[in-house]
Each structure stands twice: as structure tokens, then as C-alpha cells.
Amino acid sequence: MEILTLADSLEILDLSNNQLTSLPKELIQLKNLKIFFASNNHFETVPEVLGQCLNLEMVGFKSNKINHVPERSLPAKLRWLILTDNQISTLPDSLGERPRLQKLALAGNCLTHLPKTLAQSTNLELVRISANQLAECPDQLLGLPKLAWFAFSGNPFSQSDINIRSVPEMPSSSYTLQRVLGQGASGVISKAHWNQHQALFPDDIAVKVFKGEVTSDGYPKDELQACLKVGHHPNLVKSLAQVNEDGYLALIMSLIPPHYTNLGLPPNFKSCTRDTFALGFTLSIEHIEKVITQMEDVFAHLHANQVCHGDLYAHNALFDDEANLIVGDFGAATMYHMLNEEQQAKIKQIEHRALHHFIDDLLSICKEEDRSSKTFIRLKQHITQR
């Protein structure tokens, strides 16, 4: 109850990693509460008191035991809803009656269908529905005017019998992991070395060891298959081999040279779905155009292979001082060859919006002296006319 002494000022309340099963009705006294997270608790129902919080915009219940989302549990100003890794089979119609909704994460549940009312969600930009039980493609999402980042693998409607062997299989005993280079929702990437010289592969390698459980983007095995289906491209991280052992799934890749750095930073609470950049970071229009040209080529290659990246962002790309680009992170990638032609065209259109946001975000960090250049004006007009 002492929390209520902060009723006039508290905006963020994070109760994650506890053993909570309910919330007190007094929570509505937190009249300025905007963000509420309760990941890794024991909730079985999304508390209805949240629906009465007038200024609440972001709600997160990742990795609970939720099987019921009441009609009245969703606040009127809802902008960001995370229900990843629960036991939800149905969602209320009220979800589609939240006009500010931008980000919806539902991966790793038991959903058999989505509310038809989601067709009204005209501000929805990012959706994760991977690893559910959806028997049909949710067409009510495909026509949304702002949807740009969409992940839907691991459902009956997107199931594929393809087992891609575009790279050889290697045993995990063939290499030794060294230092960790990075990690995301689906796995940990480490620098590694071969235990014995490999004539077919470069000496410098990186290994992504996938986490066994469902992630915010879906199943690791779907990520691996999508990555292999895409094949080789000069601006993609190069896959060399895969490891398929009981309880151990990994992808062996070429090691990215150390002079490459992240192009962008992930979205924050304020930007919601859009990339952010380090304070003061700028690029010349020449480098921006070069990066865009490479990303457009990556986009064309992905969709020529009927794969949607699902997470086409600057923060999932690396670049060097000469603006050479490498795109990675296939955690949200989905193969879509099993869909009909109309659905495939809409999936490509959805990701095309993500490409335009990528271009727009890069133009936002263009050096001031280049903003009057013909190239800048041309690129700006190109994305505003679409």
C-alpha cells in the first residue's frame, strides 16, 4: 500500500520476477501510471483493474500462466501489449477496439483464432503471433494500413514440410565456444574456433546456440529454417553449417570483422516501434544512400526466396566506415511460400513499409549540410509518396 503514496507521480511500475497472482483494486489510484510490467509471475488472468487505469499505455505479462484475458482488462489508451509465452487460446473483441494500439506481442500461446475486430486496428505497426495454433492466416491483419513488422511462423497455417539442407551438418564437438559476442531473444552468439582444421570453412567462425524454449519471436527451429532458405547474399551474415543434436541446435556462421558496428539502437518506450540512434550520431547522404541501396537488395533477395524478415531494422544491421552493410537476426523471420498469391503479396507489402521506415529513420540522422542535397530530397519524396 505504500506504493499509493506515489499516486501523483508514478508512471512506470515493474513487478516482474515475483510470484504474484493478482493486483489490488487500489491500483486505479495511480492516476499517472503509463507503463505496467509483470513478466515472470503466476497470473492466470489479466487483472480487470488495469482496464480502469485511465492513462495506462503499455502492459506486459510475458511468461505467466495466463489463460484468460477479460474484455474489460485492456485500458482505453493501450498502445503496447505483451502477452508472450502464456496459455491464451482466445482474446476479447475489445482488443480491436483500442485505437492507439501499435505493438502486439502474442507469440508462444495457444491461440486458435484472432478477434475479427483487429481489422479496426489502423495504428497497429508490429505484431508477433508465432508459435500458436492458428489454423488459418489472419487476413484481418494483412490489410492493416500501418503494419510493418510481422512474425507468424510456428502456426498450423504457416507450417512447412521443407527441411532445408543448404549447409552441411556438423557435430558440436567440432568446435569450442570462446567469448560471447552478443545475445538476443532466441540465442547466444559466440566467437568459436575449430578443434581441427577445416578445409571447407574459414578459420574465424561465430556460433549461434539457440535457446530451447519459445521466444518473443517464435520457435528457434523456424528461425534456423528461414535463415537457411534465404541462402547466401553479400549483405547477409553467411551461414556455414548447422548443428542438429538432441537438445542442442546451433548455426555456424562466418565471423563478422570487428570493425563493423551496430547501425542503430532498438526502439524505446517513447518511439515504441521505431529505431533510435546514439545521441549525436549522423551519416553523410552518400553513406545513407549506399546503405539504403544494399538494404533494398537484401529485401529483394529475401522476398525472391519467399521469406519475410519480420524485424527489418537498423538495430539488426551492422556497418563499417565505408557504409558496407551486413544484416542479421532472423529471429522473427517467416517462410511464406505456403500462403496463396494474394496473401503473399500482402506480406511483401507489409515488409515494404518496414523498409520505408528504415529509410526514413536513416534520413533523420543525415548530416545537416546534406539535407538540401538532391539525393536527400529524392529519397524523402520517394517514401512520402508511398
DSSP secondary structure string, 196-230?
S--TTS-S-EEEEEEPSS--SS--HHHHHHHHHHH
Q: How far apart are CA 223 and CA 138, in angstroms?
A: 21
Question: Which amino acid belongs to residue 86?
Answer: N
Strand 261-262 with 248-254, pairing: unpaired
DSSP at 265? B
d(CA 180, CA 178): 7
| Among 258, 263, 278, 253, CA closest to 188 | 253
Comparing CA positions, the residue from 318, 323, 317 lying closest to residue 366 is 323
Q: Is the dihedral of CA 315, 316, 318, 323 positive or negative?
A: negative
Cell of 211: 535457446
DSSP state of 174: G
Q: Determine phi and psi for 281, rounding to 5 degrees.
A: -75, 125
DSSP characters over 345-380: HHHHHHHHHHHHHHHHHHHTTB-GGGTTSHHHHHHH
Closest C-alpha to 273, from 318, 225, 230, 314: 314
Cell of 258: 570487428
The whole-angstrom separation of Cα 270 and Cα 273 is 9
Is 208 assigned a ligand-binding role in the annotation?
A: yes
Those residues whose C-beta lies under 8 Å from the C-beta of residue 358, and which sit 6 or more positions away, are 275, 292, 295, 312, 313, 314
SS3 176: strand
Buried b (16+ CB within 10 A) or exposed e, 343-352: ebebbeebbe
Binding-site residue ranges: 208
Q: Which residues are annotated as a binding site for ATP?
A: 208
